[in-house]
Amino acid sequence: MVGKRGGVLELAVLGLLHESPMHGYELRKRLNTLLGMFRAFSYGTLYPCLKQLLAQGLITEDEDEQPTGALQSKRAKIVYKLTAEGKEHLQKLLTEAGPAAWEDEGFGVHFAFFAQTRADVRLRILEGRRSRLEERLEQVRTALTRTRERVDSYTLELQNHGLESVEREVRWLNELIGREHAKAADEVGRQRQDDRQDDNDNDAPQGTSPS
């Protein structure tokens, strides 16, 4: 064990680099548009992380060869790409369906790479998040009924808005879980009639559901 990285960034970086090699600057932009509403990382976070992933041998840096034969002795742009170990590690991260995957900090990132995630893991994460949210919902609801009429209208408004937001996310999750189930059933159906098909296209491999 080398560096004990434990953040979302690791997954995010590995996941993005798996799609295509990039240099740090672009990586950060893609990161922040990918996660848009949820998180935004700064260079001060990203570069040290890259450095460490490098030290762990999960990524390598290549000089960016520009085709126009210039001198390029300046300081070449660094293009990061996954090593074999990096890919392996990514797969491992994508298979872990624990709290880290459905808590607030991690869920968005894990979800963002669902296209590269196994179907059963996807389902576990979605259900994990749902139950997490329902738990929170329950807590707040009981707290609300216990202290009702003792809070001012603004506090009430805030709590209500929060409650509705979470309820909305739960409905969204229900929708997604339903679709996942349908997709899984579809898979089974397909597999029954056509038994040998495994990994061919990279983007949405098992995407046959009409939705």
Partner DNA sequence: TTCGTCATGTAATGGGTTACATGATTAC
Partner DNA sequence: GTAATCATGTAACCCATTACATGACGAA
Return the bridge partners of 4, or none: none
Q: What CA–CA distance (Å, rounded) separates 82 from 16?
A: 10
Binding mask 42-71 for DNA (x = CB under 7 A): xxxx-xx-xx---------x--------x-
Q: Does residue 25 contact residue 19 with C-beta atoms inside 8 Å?
A: no
Of 66 and 174, nearer to a copy of itself (C-beta) is 174
Q: Strand pairing of 59-63 and 78-82? A: antiparallel
For the bound state, the minimum distance from the C-beta of residue 44 to DNA, rounded and expressed in Å, comes to: 2
Please tell me whether residue 40 binds DNA under the rule CB under 7 A. yes
Among a copy of itself, DNA, none, partner that 23 touches (CB below 5 to 8 angstroms by kind): DNA
Of 18 and 28, nearer to DNA (C-beta) is 28
Q: Which run of H or E residues covers position 202? A: none
Q: Does residue 34 contact residue 52 with C-beta atoms inside 8 Å?
A: no
Return the bridge partners of 61, or none: 80
Residues that bind a copy of itself (CB under 8 A): 33-34, 36-38, 108, 111-115, 136, 139-140, 143, 147, 152-155, 157-159, 161-163, 165-166, 168-169, 172, 176, 202-204, 207
In the 8-state DSSP scheme, what is residue 144?
Answer: H
Task: Candidates 1, 14, 21, 25: give the one binding DNA (CB under 7 A).
Answer: 25
Q: What CA–CA distance (Å, rounded) separates 54 from 78?
A: 12
Can you give the binding site for DNA, defined by CB under 7 A?
4-9, 23-26, 39-45, 47-48, 50-51, 61, 70, 72, 74-75, 77-78, 105
